[in-house]
Amino acid sequence: MGNPIGYFRETASRLLSPAREGAVPPDPRRVVELAQEESLAKGITTFHDAGSSFEAIDVFKEMAEDGSLDIRLWVMVRESVSELAEHLADYKMIGVGEDRLTVRAIKMSIDGALGSHGAWLLEPYSDLPESAGLNTSDLEDAAATAELAIQHGYQFAMHAIGDRGNRETLDIFEWAFTNNPDEEDLRWRVEHAQHLHPDDIPRFGNLQVIASMQGVHATSDGPWITDRLGHERVEWGAYAWRDLMDAGAIIANGTDAPVEDVDPIASYYSSVSRMMGNGEVLTPRQKMTRMEALKSYTINNAYAGFEEDIKGSLEVGKLADITVLDRDILTIPEDDIPNIEVSYTIVGGEIMFSGDSN
């Protein structure tokens, strides 16, 4: 008999599902409206939704077609292998509703989170030596999903946080690439890539796998990450942005909302400062420059979505999606970055948010 610890970790949360069956579900359209309102107020013009059901995508499509989507949605499908096999062919969408909705990726998770000791590690946790984390998806299912992605022309995005989770993911990706040598420009992604073994960092560049990371994770996890991993693992593999870029990897940056605040400015500040709430800087050598961080939130994210020809930079012929800030994010003192406010969020040439109205 174990002792109750008061929380349901990772996949154990599914045990609570029956308790939700009698609850009145929220209006799905209203949920989208509230989410896009918050995102637009934070300067976001395109939102990468990292894992929605086919049912949710039906709602997105309806809203895109009737003009209810003010923001642009780029969606990954998250369903069982059997559901994917049955329905993927019907759900790939690019640019529905005047480029308001695109669905062209599959999302899966190979492990859990560092905070809950759920990230899958090569060696045990420093503060929980009896555990090396959790493998949350069967590796055969992951390989089958990779095959489905190639068969149906979808990008594959795998949530992987621990160094074992990342290594297993890269192994699956490499296996799929080797077995399909005629497939080019796949742009598969590792979502988070928070803790890596140094031997695996060059593989991102060599395999052309996108490291889809979140700057704010480094500073929100920073105060306790050394307890979890120990100094050496943090120094050489945790939130290793500089090492990944030096190895030729493209970093796409985000916020991981709702795990973190959807505010990209706060995450941008974390990307360039790595400043934690206690005033200490986590592994300073891994910082991004301001221009690198800006690109990681703009053109790199567009590239990660196969949209660099229409988004991600201000150029003639691209969509007029523009975020106007009240100060120059590239030149103001670093300590002032968190105080930047959004003046306007413009999508398709139309003002969708104005700071003056608030």
Give me the tens of pLDDT residue by residue for the chain, a chain 358 residues long: 566 666 676 677 777 777 767 777 789 999 999 999 999 999 999 999 999 999 999 999 999 999 999 999 999 999 999 999 999 999 999 999 999 999 999 999 999 999 999 999 999 999 999 999 999 999 999 999 999 999 999 999 999 999 999 999 999 999 999 999 999 999 999 999 999 999 999 999 999 999 999 999 999 999 999 999 999 999 999 999 999 999 999 999 999 999 999 999 999 999 999 999 999 999 999 999 999 999 999 999 999 999 999 999 999 999 999 999 999 999 999 999 999 999 999 999 999 999 986 5
**Interatomic CA distance for residues 70 and 99, integer angstroms:** 11
Q: Return the pLDDT at 9.
A: 67
Q: Which long-range contacts (CB under 8 A, 24 or more apart) does 148-153 make?
A: 148/81, 148/84, 148/85, 148/88, 148/106, 149/106, 149/176, 149/188, 150/176, 150/180, 150/183, 150/186, 152/88, 152/89, 152/92, 153/92, 153/104
Question: Which are the contacts of 116, defined by CB distance < 8 A and separation ≥ 6?
Answer: 7, 9, 10
Q: Return the pLDDT at 14.
A: 72
Q: Return the pLDDT at 219.
A: 97
Q: Return the pLDDT at 13.
A: 73
**Interatomic CA distance for residues 72 and 76, integer angstroms:** 13
- Write down the CATH number for the domain with range 31-357: 3.20.20.140
Pairing of strands 155-160, 350-354: unpaired
Q: Return the pLDDT at 152.
A: 98
Q: Return the pLDDT at 54.
A: 98
Q: Which long-range contacts (CB under 8 A, 24 or more apart) does 277-281 make?
A: 277/219, 277/223, 278/223, 280/222
Say if CB 346 and CB 320 are below 8 A apart: yes
Q: Return the pLDDT at 12.
A: 75
311: nearest Cα among 95, 27, 125: 95
Q: Return the pLDDT at 11.
A: 72
Say if CB 305 and CB 73 are below 8 A apart: no
Q: Return the pLDDT at 333.
A: 98
Q: Return the pLDDT at 358.
A: 53
Tokens of 94: 């690019």
Say if CB 78 and CB 108 are below 8 A apart: yes
CA 162, distance to chain mean position in Å, is 15
Q: Return the pLDDT at 222.
A: 96
Helix, coil or strand: residue 344: strand
DSSP secondary structure of 54-78: HHHHHHHHHHHHTT---SEEEEEE-
